[in-house]
Amino acid sequence: MPERTALKVDALERTVLELGAEIYHLKGTISKQQQTHAKVLAVVKGLKQILDEKGLVSVDDFEAAVELGQAIEDFNAQFEAAAAFDHEGNSKKHGH
């Protein structure tokens, strides 16, 4: 019995170490994504400023286009979620 307990403890220790390694990896990945996001945001802000200064697109028009894009993205996400739910519901009905 003590050997069995020791094996379980060893397995738990390995699992905890693996989880720790995965958390460390995810932390690094998130850090890289945050750095990339900051760079993209700086580029977009610079682009917005250049377009406004050149008189090609006003800041208001730029922001309106971004808001429209976000609204379309939200609509598509809701539509896809509804379609997936409908598909799952239909597949369950056909299974009976």
96 pLDDT band (50/70/90 cuts)? Answer: very low
Asked if residue 14 and residue 38 are part of one domain, the reply reads yes
Asked if residue 21 and residue 5 are part of one domain, the reply reads yes
Asked if residue 50 and residue 86 are part of one domain, the reply reads no
For 28-58, how does the pLDDT look when each residue is reduced to its tens digit (9 = 90+)? 999 999 999 999 999 999 999 999 999 998 9
Q: Work out how many domains the chain is built from and give that number.
A: 2
Q: Print the domain residue range for 29.
A: 1-56
Asked if residue 19 and residue 50 are part of one domain, the reply reads yes
Asked if residue 31 and residue 2 are part of one domain, the reply reads yes
Asked if residue 20 and residue 67 are part of one domain, the reply reads no
pTM (predicted TM-score):
0.54
C-alpha 44/C-alpha 67 separation (Å) is 14
